[in-house]
A and B are shown apart, each in its own frame.
Chain A
Amino acid sequence: MKVVLRNPRREVEVAGNRRVKDVLRELDILPETVLVIRGDDLVTADQMLRDDDVIELRPVMSGGVR
């Protein structure tokens, strides 16, 4: 399964057929810090991902000192 990461943009390959939250845990990413995007949809942490899925983990953090 292909995972697209941003800032900088890169791709990693991880095992599929498991839940979103397991993939996030393997990549050491807190669920609160990303949107999980598959195609035109958002997917929740309990959803199963297939081996042929492509998902984007889009960081939601922004800003500097204000």
Chain B
Amino acid sequence: MKCRKCGGAAALELRRHNAAFCAPDFLEFFRNQVREAIRRHKMFTRDERVLVAVSGGKDSLALWDVLLDEGYDATGLYLDLGIFDYSVESKAKCEAFAARRGAPLIITRVADEVGGPVPVIKQVTRRPPCSGCGLSKRYLMNRAALEHGMAVVATGHNLDDEAATLFGSVMHWQTDALPRQSPALASTHPKLVRRVKPLYRLSEREAAAYAFLRRIDYIVEECPFAKGATSIAHKEILNRMEEASPGAKHNFLFGFLEKARPAFERAEAVQLNECARCGQVTTGTVCAFCKLADQVKRAAADVPPAPEQ
């Protein structure tokens, strides 16, 4: 197999693009896709500081790597979820990357903020661990950006992540979730920062290949709680479709973004309030994060919950 650009030996075949690239030309292809995402969705400018949420995995470290190479002022944010050895190792990968690149890294412990690490949150809430974990991550990312004066949070969500989320939303016709699925979510409140996904044009395999070819030391092991997660089952289904029809995932996601998403956007804006406790943005009176933290702290103190009013 030959590189589409230089004719040399290919390192990676991209069937959905009907192309193959050698290592240097693939890395350039990857950077070009990130540039295109940032440009097309006006994600951020070179004058803005960007907070990159890093997990120690291939996607977020690849994203941080590209942004630093492109000259962006990109600070990492690692949220220590307290998930046994997985968190210890993933934190070490982020710290090593930050040190190697001389880039600033902020570390926040979920346990300090919520009252317990993710395994405890799982136990207390009796809900799938990804639920409380995702809620905490979104909240803490936004808060960290505000505290450090950054207008935008960038996450490493890739094409497969986005296609799997879309698949899940469509399977349940979650019409509230559909308009919120976007490569770039604008700030709709002074206390909500912009959220962007500069890797949305790149597949999971492309992100892994970039990280490997750039010799980024990332955590290959999955989060122990991700096993059996619905999104992984959806990714597997989509990969079967991709195998039968290269480009299926791309067409599914991009077709939605271009043709279907506008139809689900609601005319009326959602009423946003500031949480009575923490001041962060919520649609209710007390935000979901404060309620979760209450629940976890109450359980930790072993005080029985107050009876329902």
Query: What is the interface of chain A, defined by CB distance below 8 A to chain B?
Result: 6-7, 30-35, 37, 41-47, 58-66
Contact, CB under 8 Å: B229 / A63: yes
Closest to A59 in B: B220
A7 and B220 in contact (CB under 8 A), knowing A32-B243, A65-B130?
yes
A42 and B23 in contact (CB under 8 A), knowing A32-B242, A64-B226?
yes
Could you list 18 examples of A-B contacts with CB < 8 Å? Answer: A7-B222, A32-B239, A35-B208, A35-B212, A42-B11, A42-B213, A44-B12, A44-B20, A58-B220, A60-B205, A61-B160, A63-B161, A63-B223, A63-B229, A64-B129, A64-B229, A64-B231, A65-B134
Which residues of the other chain, A, contact B231 by a CB distance below 8 angstroms?
A: 63-66
Contact, CB under 8 Å: B58 / A65: no
B230 adjacent to chain A (CB < 8 Å)? yes
Which residues of the other chain, B, contact A6 by a CB distance below 8 angstroms?
A: 220-221
Contact, CB under 8 Å: A58 / B208: yes
Closest to A33 in B: B239
Contact, CB under 8 Å: B205 / A37: no
Partner of B13, one of A37, A41, A44, A61: A44
Partner of B204, one of A43, A45, A61: A61
Query: Is chain A's binding surface mostly helix, strand, loop or mixed?
Result: loop
Query: What is the interface of chain B, defined by CB distance below 8 A to chain A?
Result: 1, 10-13, 15, 20, 23, 57-59, 128-131, 133-134, 157, 160-161, 164-165, 168, 203-205, 207-209, 212-213, 220-223, 225-226, 229-232, 235, 239-240, 242-243
A64 and B242 in contact (CB under 8 A), knowing A37-B212, A42-B209, A58-B220?
no
A34 vs B205: C-alpha distance when bound (angstroms): 7
A64 and B232 in contact (CB under 8 A), knowing A44-B13, A58-B208?
yes
Closest to B205 in A: A60
Closest to A36 in B: B12
A39 vs B59: C-alpha distance when bound (angstroms): 22
Nearest chain A CB to B133 CB, angstrom units = 7
Partner of B11, one of A30, A41, A64: A41
Additional 17 contacts, C-beta under 8 A, given A62-B226, A64-B226? A7-B220, A30-B242, A30-B243, A32-B15, A33-B205, A35-B212, A37-B212, A44-B11, A45-B13, A46-B1, A58-B220, A60-B207, A61-B222, A62-B57, A63-B229, A64-B225, A64-B229
The list of the 10 closest CB pairs from A to B, nearest first, reads A65-B130, A64-B130, A64-B226, A60-B208, A64-B229, A42-B11, A44-B1, A60-B205, A60-B204, A44-B13
Contact, CB under 8 Å: A62 / B23: no
Nearest chain B CB to A45 CB, angstrom units = 6
Which residues of the other chain, A, contact B230 by a CB distance below 8 angstroms?
A: 65
